[in-house]
Amino acid sequence: MLLTHKQRIERILAGDEIDRPAISAWRHFYDRENSKDDLVEAMIAFQRKFEWDFMKINPRASYHIEGWGARIRYSTDPLTKPATVSYPVAGKDDWKKVGRLDWRSGSLGEILAASEAIVKRIGSEVFCLQTVFSPLSIAADLVDGDDSFQKLLRRGRDELHAALENITRTFAGFVSDLFKAGISGIFFATTEWASRNLLTEEEYLEFGKHYDLQVVAAAAPAVFNVIHVCNRNNMLPLFRDYPGQVLSWNPFETGNLSIHQSAQILDKIFLTGIDQNSTLLAGPPEEISAQIQLSLEEVPWGRLMIAPGCAVKVNTPDLNLQAAVDTAKGWSA
């Protein structure tokens, strides 16, 4: 049995027999994220080079805050991140600036157009997921620094809730339009804010989950949605009842559940298995292959899609990415 990329994903989600594990990876192209056309070409080229089983579109990591007045210094260097040079929220009264946006214009409209262009070019071959950040992480990115945001969260709760409501309404509309553009699902990312390093679980339930679920609900038409829980000491079990079919996290980071532990308590398909911070970055290919094989052995066959625990480092050698692909393609039940 030899499946197409789409057939493989469909069968994994349905719990049916597959020929081999699915694999995907994603990364930033800092110098090619500054326009719709460059982003489209970068994503297509990366897909063509490695033939991933699905595409996670990786737009610039500021697209979600530019409409609220964040000023960004874009990068022309493939190894240098863009930088936020001005933040719109400095005090709790500034949350009043965070109104509901027209998601069909500005940076959000640009990403909608890029999504549609990518689907037209490659959507017949692979499912395409668009990256959408949680409302809480978007609010945090409007503030200069994690410490400052924590203080605002705890000292201006009502003002923050009002802003989160507007962010949520904006992105629920944005997600609905992603499906009109042909996107197959969303990759819903919490960034660092579902971590005990920064918040308590009670705080995440108050400021995170209530708004998360509204955005994810807008993705109900999806073929498949991924819930991505970032960072060390993360709160992965809090996401057990989110409606996304697939959970993504880095089990190799301090304080996080292993793949095997997660399988005992979470009824989801998992998208993980390679540590992008060390093994995938440094290699050698034999170590990458060994880590993937050990990860696959932690759960029943078909329950794990191979992927990094977060975005691949931009200086990761192509040789290492190819080793991961070759391992997945060479594995069978």
Asked if 36 and 113 touch (Cβ cutoff 8 Å), the reply is: yes
- Which tokens go with 96? 């009043």
- The arrangement of strands across the sheet holding 269-274 comes to 54-57, 127-133, 185-189, 226-228, 246-248, 269-274, 304-308
E-state strands within the chain: 54-57, 71-73, 83-86, 127-133, 185-189, 226-228, 246-248, 269-274, 304-308
**Integer angstrom CA distances of residue 287 from 52, 172, 280, 308:** 20, 41, 8, 14
CATH numbers and ranges of domains, the chain = 5-330 (3.20.20.210)
Distance CA 323, CA 317 (A): 10
pLDDT at 332: 64
Tens of pLDDT, residue by residue over 66-110, are: 999 999 999 999 999 999 999 999 999 999 999 999 999 999 999
CA triplet 56, 233, 306: central angle to 5 degrees? 35
What length is written for the chain? 333
For the chain, 333 residues long, the average pLDDT of each consecutive 10-residue run is 94 96 98 97 98 98 97 96 97 97 97 98 97 98 97 95 98 97 97 96 97 97 94 96 95 97 96 98 97 97 96 98 96 66
pLDDT at 221: 86
Asked if 217 and 179 touch (Cβ cutoff 8 Å), the reply is: no
Tens of pLDDT, residue by residue over 279-303, are: 999 999 999 999 999 999 999 999 9
Residue 159's H or E segment, with its range, is: helix 157-180
Distance CA 76, CA 189 (A): 25
Tell me if the bond preceding 284 is cis, omega within 30° of 0. Answer: yes
pLDDT at 333: 55
Query: pTM value?
Result: 0.96
